[in-house]
Amino acid sequence: MKIRNFKKSDFTSVKSIYQQGIDTGNATFQKKAKGWNEWNSSFLITCRIVAELNNEVVGWAALSAASNRTVYNGVAEVSIYIAKNYANYGIGNSLLSELISTSENEGIWTLQAGIFPENESSIAIHSKNGFKIIGVREKLGKMNGAWRDILFMERRSKVVGI
């Protein structure tokens, strides 16, 4: 497996993997994968990576700004998605580990993640990479008519912003 920077030509695979995550019902409140313009504008340009296996993109991770305010430039939110046929291959852990390193090289001192409590594999991957559960955001949004909670997790860099 190879972890590398995202290229625009990866977007078709990235979008497909994103939709697979959406279809689980436990990855995001999003109902449909974003098109290129929306996806591109929602993530930081510098922290977008993909996992490639046998020349196939099998996962991706990216960061979005936590806020537009300058004081929060070092705080970003994690998005990470793995192709359903490649779950439990360690791809998520490898992507998140690389994303942490990439983010620190970009001066980001805090990473945060909002995860549905039912998404145990994502919680485990984040915990393994130094994220701590800060709390539960109860009934944060409705999905298919039902209120959903979000676990709020965070990781503070030990090398940036100390």
Query: Could you give all domains of the chain from N- to C-terminal order, each with its CATH number?
Result: 2-112 (3.40.630.30)
Contact 14, 40 (CB under 8 A): no
> Residue 82 has what pLDDT?
97
Give buried/exposed letters for 44-75 (b at 16+ CB in 10 A, else e): beebbbbbbeeeebbbbbbbeebeeeeeeebb
What is the Cα Rg of the chain in Å?
15
Residue 101 has pLDDT above 90, yes or no: yes
Residue 71 has pLDDT above 90, yes or no: no
Residue 154 has pLDDT above 90, yes or no: yes
Q: What percent of the chain has pLDDT over 70?
A: 100
16: region left, alpha or beta (phi > 0 left; psi from -120 to 50 alpha) = alpha
> Residue 23 has what pLDDT?
95
Sequence-ordered strand ranges (E) for 1-121: 2-5, 48-53, 56-65, 75-82, 110-115
> Residue 162 has what pLDDT?
82
> Residue 70 has what pLDDT?
86
Neighbours of 96 (CB within 10 A): 25
| Angstrom distances, CA of residue 70 to CA of 45, 49, 73, 135 | 17, 24, 5, 25
Q: Tell me what the mean pLDDT of segment 95-99 comes to.
A: 98
What are the tens digits of pLDDT across the range 10-25?
999 999 999 999 999 8
Q: Tell me what the mean pLDDT of segment 69-88 comes to.
A: 93
Q: Tell me what the mean pLDDT of segment 146-159 comes to.
A: 96
Mean pLDDT, the chain, rounded, equals: 95
Give residue 161's pLDDT band: very low, low, confident or very high (50, 70, 90).
Answer: confident
Which tokens in the block code for residue 100? 């942490």
Taking the alpha carbons of 157, 107, 28, 5 in that order, is the dihedral positive or negative? negative
